[in-house]
Structure 1
Amino acid sequence: MRMPGNNPDLFALLLAFLMTLLGAMAGYAYRVINGARFSWVMLALQLIVSLFAGALMMLTAMHYLWPVEITGAICGMAGWSGSTLIKALEARFLNKAGGSNAGTQVDS
């Protein structure tokens, strides 16, 4: 079912996806340049985390009707920051939810 006013075009989705991938690969390359050991497994895991962060930012961009250029830039930064962005969004969400355990980690 289509939601009125929330239909991103294919170009915006592709740009967000590509910028997220570029950001993720650039972030991983930066860590390797600074001395981290290269690993295909770690690169794949970084891509998964960064794609999730980029998808969250794409959904945010769709909600706030950001221009395509801003969406691409934000998704690229989300790809670069990966889990750092997700942790920051989680902390903000938990603080807004008013949980007394906001910002604490729960082990399962």
Structure 2
Amino acid sequence: MAEWVESRRGWILVDFPVDSGLAFLSAVANAGPRDAFYVRMTHWAAPDAWDVTVKPMDVAMFKEDLPSRFRLQLLQVSFPAYDLPELTRRLREHAAGRSVPPSPTDWTTVGR
């Protein structure tokens, strides 16, 4: 696991229940402009793109006497640590009930 941990140096990982993670992403996206930060969080090919994955989990991992039954339980969000100040700002805006109206996005970093 040390190699994997080293590969994530400079990145922040946050685990959520799936529905809470989707609400988090929506809140962050709606609380700021559709700028380079937004592109990193929404497009997999952007430079320093956020990695958002849903992890299926087997209930038998925690109760080994049960048969295997997988369900979508965990949404993991990984982003560069330098995004933390903007992320925090956007979460404060969201908490204050402020959002930014939708607008065109500059997709040039992903060739769109």
Q: TM-score, normalised by structure 1?
A: 0.29
Of Structure 1 and Structure 2, which has the larger fraction of its residues in strand? 2
Of Structure 1 and Structure 2, which has the larger fraction of its residues in helix? 1
